Structure 1
Amino acid sequence: MSHMWTFQRVGGLDQVVFKNADDIINLPNLDPKLWVALSCPTTGLDFDERTLALLDSDKDGRIRIPDILDAISWTQQRIVSFKSILASSQTLPISQIDTSCEQGKKLSVTAHSILASLGKSQSDYLTQEDVQQSIKINAGKLYNGDLIFPPSAELSSEMQTFIQTAINTTGAKKDMSGQDGIDLDIAKTFVENLKTWQKWQTDISHTQTPFGENQAEIWKLVQTLKPKIDDYFLRVALAQYAPQAQGALNVDEKYIVPTENGLLSDEALAELPLSKIDTVSALDLVNGLNPLWKAKISRFKTLVASELANPDQLTQQEWLNIQNSLEAYTSLITAKPEMAQADVTTKPTSSLEDIPNQLINSLASSDLLTAFEQMVEQDNKTPISASDVLVLEKLVLFHKHLYRLLVNFASFADFFSLEKRAAFQLGKLYIDGRCATLCVAVDNIAKHSNMANYSELCLLYCECTRHDQKQLIAAAMTAGQGDLLIEGRNGVFIDNNGNDWDANVVKMITKPISIQQAIWAPYQRIGRLITEQINKWATSKDADIEKSSAQVLQSPENKFDIGKSVGIFAAIGLAIGAIGTALATLFQAIFSLSWWQFPLVFIGLFLIISGPSVILAWLKLRRRTLGPLLEASGWAINGQVKINFLLGKLLTSKAELPKNAKRNLRDPLKSQNKKSMMILLCAIVFGIGITAGWLWYQGDFQRYFEQPQAQSTQNGQQEENNHYR
């Protein structure tokens, strides 16, 4: 509580600033509510994968606050000072290893041994590459300090058999080279299971039955034949009870028919009764047997002949006596002992039942376990111990990456920095003359978009392919316009390793992108509406003209009606007159204004048309947040983490010419005649408009339209009077 923290208000959140080593050491005392993130996934990040694997000690695929605090505590116990961690150095000075304890001294010795084995005896620091190279070199050695031995050819054939049998029946662990092997715990468990199995088999062999050494084979035959023999005696009892049902209890010939290939089905025959059913109680062990069971019955007959009154027949009582004589043996067989389990990463593929008894007795009674213990002891004395190398690897990785993890978890300093990128930013998407740098990983687009929609960001979901690889990303467009951003467009995604991927937009969440887009959006909508209406009107008129032309061609009697034509021309004239009057009124109102009122008119029109769109876009752009976007990717975020206008422009850059570039506005592929004609047409329209406005202002234009109208009214009244006369 006495530590003085420093916070910076960024993105609408108070974010902790790591200024010195004390800030990291005291991080366990910081309220978790003041951390920007509470948890994040171990995948889909631009971060060292090995470091994430070491942080995820419980292997649940997530990094949480306790995992980071444990990493800080673990590192603090093995390093002299946290000052070097703030620099995210690529190297770990050996002098930074705390040698005040035995473990630290051992790590220091291991570090020097690694450097010596790599020919860097004069070096006083370790890198991640040094440790990984040492692991790779030692992985090929039998005695490499990992205390795990695969069935290597360097070992004796007996030891190879011992290790391989243990792997098959007990399980294995991966050694430094990635091979399956066993450690001392697996070896002891294996030998313990061998002895347990051996004792069980001895107890079984000492069980007294009338069948002597054949009891095991007889017991297996009894278990196999029991369903069929019991079924036979049941059918005989039913035949004796209801003789009329004897035919139904036997095999109907319709069941003994060839299959499509002309052969009898073994599966179908095996399901049929064991022998012909009649009222005779004894089972004939020689004649009338189901062919598929005859061999087993014959072997059974040979083994139990001493228990049968008639060696060719088996009565129901004799069958029961045989089973009763095997009860003790059966009880012992079914009481199979539980085998001990060892801590393994590779599960066993077989059981001790699959191993010959001779091999079991040999492995259990030999001194192979003692020899294996001596191998482990020798491996433990290796100068470069695998366990110590792994500890050094962890220390080097935490020394290198821990600070970057903190500024991407406890705070988002890297995201709000202008020079760095956050751990969740996977690369850059180039599309529509823009570059989007806020690109995050996506597992399921439908699920991701439901949550990401609340971020108020315009998102492009892209399927990126490179050779035979695929990945899904969501890219936020935070600058420019979105007119040409549609599903199906193609772009290029450049990941942080510089690899380019073909990107195809498969889904889009449409949101306001910029104020510029909001300004022109109403005019674009009006333009599209006018275009659509003109297209509809032109299409309908074209259809009407085609229909009228067809009617005229089909009816040659129709003659040209001059009266109707005059009426049409008069209507057209009146329409033109109305338009002219409207234009004259408009120009009269405009020219009646003072010069300083003209800008106010245009500003007012702009506010009326674009104002609502700009206000709505401004409100939505102010609500843009990073939180829901990361939440959809598996993060747990405290607060919203707002994206303001300045950050939005930085996250998406538009195409701009270089500062020293020159622009030639003359387009050689553009027709100059069309350009001249357009200029001339605009000038004529503008001149007519100015003239009409000036005439109206002087009063002549109004009189020009009022006189014909009055004359027309007078002529109409005179014609009406003549009609009444």
Structure 2
Amino acid sequence: MNHMWTFQRVGGLDQVVFKNTNDIINLSNLDPKLWVALSCPTTGLNFDERTLALLDVDQDGRIRIPDILDAISWTNDKVVSFDKILQSSDILPLNQIDTTTQQGHKLVVTAHSILANLNKNQQDYLTQDDVQQSIKINASKLYNGDLIFPPSAELSSAMQTFIQSAIKITGAEKDMSGQDGINLDIATTFVHNLQTWLQWQTNISKTQTPFGENRAEIWKLVQILKPKIDDYFLRIELAQYAPQAQTALNVNEKYIVPTENGLLSDEALAELPLSKIDTSSSLDLVNGLNPLWKDKITQFKSLIASSLTNPDQLTQSEWQHIQTSLEAYTSLINTKPEMVQLKVTIPPTGSIEDIPAKLIANMADDKLLTEFQQMVEQDNKTPISASDVLILEKLVLFHKHLYRLLVNFASFSDFFSLEKTAAFQLGKLYIDGRCATLCVAVDNIAKHAVLSNYSELCLLYCECTRHGQKQLIAAAITAGQGDLLIEGRNGVFIDNEGNDWDANVVKIISKPISIQQAIWEPYQRIGRLITEQINKWASTKDAEIEKSSAQVIQNPENKFDIGKSVGVFAAIGLAIGAIGTALATIFQAIFSLSWWQFPLVIIGLFLIISGPSVILAWLKLRRRTLGPLLEASGWAINGQVKINLLLGGLLTSKAQLPANAKRNLRDPMRIGTKKPIIILLLAIVIGIGITAAWFWHKGYLHQFFEPQKQQQITNNSNTEKEK
């Protein structure tokens, strides 16, 4: 609690800074509320997968704060100094292993044995590759120190059968080679279950019944036939009690009518009585039986014939006697012992009942178990123990990756450094002349979009494919404009390993991207509105012309009447006059301003048109956060982790020419007048317009327009009188 922490305010959060070894060792004393992340998934990360698997001790697919603290404590107990952890070195010097403990000394001996097997006797350090090669070499050996034995061909046939049966009945674990095998716990449990089962079968065999060796088969048939035989005798008693109900107790005619396919339904027949119901007190085991039950009754008859007075008839008392004779046998069968179950990686696929009795008796003998125990003892004496190799692998990986995990979990310094790639950044998406670097993994787009919408980021959900593989990503677009970002567009996704994937946009969450977009968006909306109206007007007029042309063709007498169109032309003239008057008023107001007022007018118009859009976009851009985006991908984040305008502009880069590049503005494919002529004509038009406006302002043009305007009014008046 007395440790002096250093925090950096980044992304709206106070993030811890790891300046030295003590900062890492004392992380257990840091309030969890001051960690940037509380948990993260083990998939969809730009991080070493094996390290994540070792951190996920409970194998629930998530990494939490206790998992990281346990890894720090475990590593600190194995090394001399924690200083090398801050360097994220690929190598683990052997002198960094603490040899003051018995386990540390054994690890150093194992490390030297690994290097000797790899012909690296002069090397005084271990790498992840060294450990992986050692695991591969040992995996091919029967005695490799993992204390797990698959049914290898190197073993005797009896031992192979023992291991295969144990895998099927009790379960298995993966050995170093990846094969299914058993350890001593599985073997011991397997033999114990066999002995328990064998003792139960012995007790059953000693149970006295009048049926000898046929008791098991008779007992199974009794369990199957009991409901039907009991039903038959009950119907017999009812028929004897109420003879008038005998017809109702037998088969109703409607139940034996063939179905549409011409066949009788087995399900319907199975529910019918076992035999014809009459007043007799016995069941005829030969004649009149339900076809679906006849085979089982015949088999039952052959087994119990010696116990019947009449081998073709079964009385109710004889049926009760058979069941009574099997009560002790039934009671013992119902006390079937429960087999001990182990928690194993590979669950069992069979039961002891599938094993022949003779084989059970052979494997239940302690001889095979004793032989397996000797194999385990020999494997445990292997110079390079698998357990020690795994500890060395874990130490090498934590030594290399633990610090990077901390700066992507306790803090997000890798993300805000802009020089490194954060663990959740999967690669870069190139699309529409831009490169988006904030790309995260997505499992379900619909579910992901619900939460990520609160990040206020413009997101492109892309389906990426490569060589038959497919993955889903969400890319944040934080610079440029979004006019051409539409569903269905294609791009290229480059993962962190340099592999290129074909990316197709399948969903877009539209949000403000930049201030530049907000400035031009009102003008683009006005332009789109004008274009839509012009297109609508043109379409309407085209339809009207087509309709009128069709009418003229169909009826030639409908000719154009100039008299009827005078009013239309007069209205058009009035409209043109009104537009001219409005323009004149605007120009008069403009030219009445002083020179210094022109910029203010332009700025005012800009603020009126673009101001609201810019303010609204600025407010939304300030609310952009990383938290909801990562939460949607399975993270648990403390706070929002804001993305400001500067960071947003850096996360998405736009296409720019190199600093030393030259640009040739002459486009050989351009059609039209040369640029100087266009500029000259444009200048002439602007000059004429300004001159005309000035003349109008001075009143020089009034004498030309006033007579025309008066004449137009007179014409309109005459037209009205004629009407």
Alignment TM-score, normalising by the size of structure 2? 0.94
CA RMSD after TM alignment: 2.5
Q: Distance in 2 between matches of 1:537 and 1:713?
A: 29
Q: Say whether 1:96 aligns with 2:96.
A: yes
SS at match of 2:364: helix
Q: Distance in 1 between matches of 2:256 and 2:629?
A: 68
| Partner residue in 2 for 1:478 | 478
Instruction: Report deviation, 1:145.
Output: 0.7
Secondary structure of 2:517's counterpart equals: helix
Alignment check: 8 A CA contact 1:479 1:649 kept: yes
Query: Which one-letter code corresponds to 2:629 in the other structure?
Result: L
The answer to which of 323-332 and 679-688 deviates more is: 679-688
**In structure 1, distance between residues paired with 2:87 and 2:605:** 57
User: Does the aligned pair in 2 maintain the 1:577–1:705 contact within 8 Å?
Assistant: no
Mean Cα deviation higher: 102-111 or 358-367: 358-367
Partner of 1:39: 39
Instruction: Tell me the residue number matched to 1:195.
Output: 195
2:534 is the counterpart of 1:539: no
Q: 2:311 and 2:680 mapped to 1: Cα distance?
A: 124
Q: How does 1:494-573 map to 2 (within 5 A)?
A: 494-553=494-553, 556-557=556-557, 561-573=561-573
Q: Distance in 1 between matches of 2:558 and 2:168?
A: 102
Match of 1:220 in 2: 220
Change (3 A) 1:590 1:297: closer
Following superposition, the deviation at residue 92 of structure 1 comes to 0.8
Post-superposition offset of 1:342 = 2.3
- Going from structure 1 to structure 2, the CA distance change for 1:697 and 1:286 (only over 3 Å counts) comes to closer
Q: 1:69 to 1:302 in 2, by over 3 A?
A: same
Q: Distance in 2 between matches of 1:677 and 1:539?
A: 35
In the aligned structure 1, how far is the partner of 2:28 from the partner of 2:43? 25
Distance 1:560 1:477, change over 3 A: closer
1:564 shift after superposition: 4.4
Percentage of pairs with the same residue = 81
Of stretches 556-565 and 449-458 in structure 1, the one that deviates more from structure 2 is 556-565
Contiguous gaps of at least 5 residues in structure 1: none
Query: Is residue 89–residue 399 contact of structure 2 (8 Å, CA) maintained in 1?
Result: yes
Q: Does 1:591 align with 2:598?
A: no
* Aligned counterparts of 2:712 and 2:211: Cα–Cα separation in 1: 135
* Equivalent pair of 1:186/1:343 in contact (CA under 8 Å): no
Aligned equivalents of 2:712, 2:612: Cα separation in 1: 47
Report the counterpart of residue 30 of structure 1 in structure 2.
30
Superposed CA deviations along residues 500-519 of structure 1, whole A, max 9, x for unmatched, are: 11111111111111111111
Superposition map of 1:62-81 within 5 A: 62-81=62-81
Of residues 429-438 and 258-267 in structure 1, the stretch that sits farther from structure 2 once superposed is 258-267
Query: CA 1:76–1:714 in structure 2 vs 1: closer, same or farther (change >3 Å)?
Result: closer
Provide the rounded CA distance (Å) in 2 between the counterparts of 1:356 and 1:571. 107
Query: Using a 3 Å threshold, how does the CA distance of structure 1 residues 445 and 711 change in structure 2: closer, same or farther?
Result: closer
Q: Superposition pairs for residues 148-547 of structure 1, below 5 Å?
A: 148-251=148-251, 270-547=270-547
For residues 603-649 of structure 1, give each alpha carbon's deviation from its aligned partner in whole angstroms, at most 9, with x where no partner exists: 22111111111111111111111111111111111111111122111
Greater Cα shift, 2-11 or 404-413: 2-11
The yes-or-no answer on 1:11 pairing with 2:17 is no
Which stretch of structure 1 is more off in the superposition, 237-246 or 468-477? Answer: 237-246
Counterparts in 2 of 1:366 and 1:579: CA distance versus 1, 3 Å: closer
Deviations 1:346-375 (A, max 9, x none): 222221122222222222234111111111
Distance in 2 (alpha carbons) for counterparts of 1:500 and 1:715: 74
Residues 1:363 and 1:585: Cα distance change in structure 2 (over 3 Å): same
Q: Which amino acid counterpart does residue 13 of structure 1 have in structure 2?
A: L
Change (3 A) 1:553 1:302: closer
Match of 2:111 in 1: 111
- CA distance 1:660–1:271, shift in 2 (3 Å): same
Q: Provide the rounded CA distance (Å) in 1 between the counterparts of 2:715 and 2:342.
A: 117
**Which amino acid in the other structure matches residue 311 of structure 2?**
P
Distance 1:265 1:559 in 2: 83
The alignment partner of 2:78 has SS state of coil
Change (3 A) 1:213 1:704: same
Deviation at 1:699? Answer: 1.6
Match of 2:58 in 1: 58
Distance in 1 of aligned mates of 2:567 and 2:451: 64
Q: Which amino acid aligns with 2:644?
A: N
Q: Comparing 361-370 with 91-100, which one deviates more in the overlay?
A: 361-370
Larger mean CA deviation between 708-717 and 80-89 belongs to 708-717
Tell which deviates more after alignment, 174-183 or 327-336.
174-183
Aligned partners of 2:410 and 2:20: how far apart in 1? 15
Structure 2 CA distance for aligned equivalents of residues 197 and 436 of structure 1: 65
Whole-Å separation in 2 of the counterparts to 1:555 and 1:285 = 99
Further displaced range: 579-588 or 111-120: 579-588
> What is the Cα deviation at residue 9 of structure 1?
1.4
Query: Contact 1:428/1:435 (CA < 8 Å) preserved in 2?
Result: yes
In structure 1, distance between residues paired with 2:550 and 2:408: 75
Any idea what the Cα deviations from partners look like across 1:361-394, whole Å, max 9, x if unmatched?
2222341111111111111111111111111111
Change (3 A) 1:596 1:153: same
Q: What's the offset of the Cα at 1:554? A: 5.1
Structure 2 residue runs without a partner (length 5+): none
Q: Distance in 1 between matches of 2:479 and 2:427?
A: 17
Shift of 1:484: 0.4
Of 222-231 and 121-130, deviating more is: 222-231
Alignment-mate amino acid for residue 622 of structure 2? R
Answer yes or no: is the 8 Å Cα contact 2:567–2:716 preserved in 1.
no
Structure 2 residue identity aligned to 1:596: W
| SS in structure 2 at match of 1:153 | coil
Task: Spell out, residue by residue over 1:142-201, the C-alpha distance to the aligned partner (whole angstroms, 9 max, x if none).
Answer: 111111111111111111121111111111111111211111111111111111111111
Which string of whole-angstrom CA distances, capped at 9 and with x for unpartnered residues, describes residues 541-590 of structure 1? 22333344444555555565554444444443333333333222222222
| SS at structure 2 position matched to 1:692 | helix
Residues 658 and 184 of structure 1: is their aligned pair in 2 closer, same or farther, counting only changes over 3 Å?
Answer: same
Distance in 2, Cα, partners of 1:220 & 1:716: 113
Q: Residue 451 of structure 1: CA displacement?
A: 1.1
Are residues 198 and 520 of structure 1, via their aligned partners in 2, closer, same or farther at CA, if it must alter by over 3 Å?
same
Deviation for aligned residue 1:252: 5.7
User: Could you tell which deviates more after superposition, 2-11 or 397-406?
Assistant: 2-11
* 1:609 equivalent in alignment to 2:609: yes
| CA displacement at 1:273 relative to structure 2 | 3.5
Contact (CA 8 Å) 1:515, 1:614: kept in 2 or not?
Answer: yes
User: Is the 1:407–1:413 contact (alpha carbons within 8 Å) kept by the matching residues of 2?
Assistant: yes
Letter in 1 for 2:613: S
Counterparts of 2:568 and 2:675 in 1: how far apart (Å)?
36
Task: Give the whole-Å Cα distance in 2 for the aligned partners of 1:574 and 1:331.
Answer: 111
> Which sits farther off after the overlay, 354-363 or 496-505?
354-363
Partners of 2:258 and 2:564 in 1: CA distance: 92
1:238–1:712 distance in 2 versus 1, CA, 3 Å? closer
- TM-score scaled by structure 1? 0.94
Q: Is the 8 A contact 1:456 1:623 kept in 2?
A: yes
1:290 Cα deviation from its structure 2 partner: 4.0
Read off the aligned partner of 1:183 and give its amino acid letter. Answer: N
Check the 8 A contact 1:584/1:692 in 2, yes or no: no
Could you tell me whether the CA contact under 8 Å between 2:552 and 2:559 is conserved in 1?
A: no
CA distance in 1, matches of 2:42, 2:715: 92
For residues 201 and 566 of structure 1, do their structure 2 counterparts lie closer, same or farther at Cα, with a shift above 3 Å needed?
closer
Q: Please state how far the C-alpha of 1:308 moved relative to its aligned partner.
A: 2.1
SS in 1 for 2:148: coil
Structure 1 residue aligned with 2:624:
624
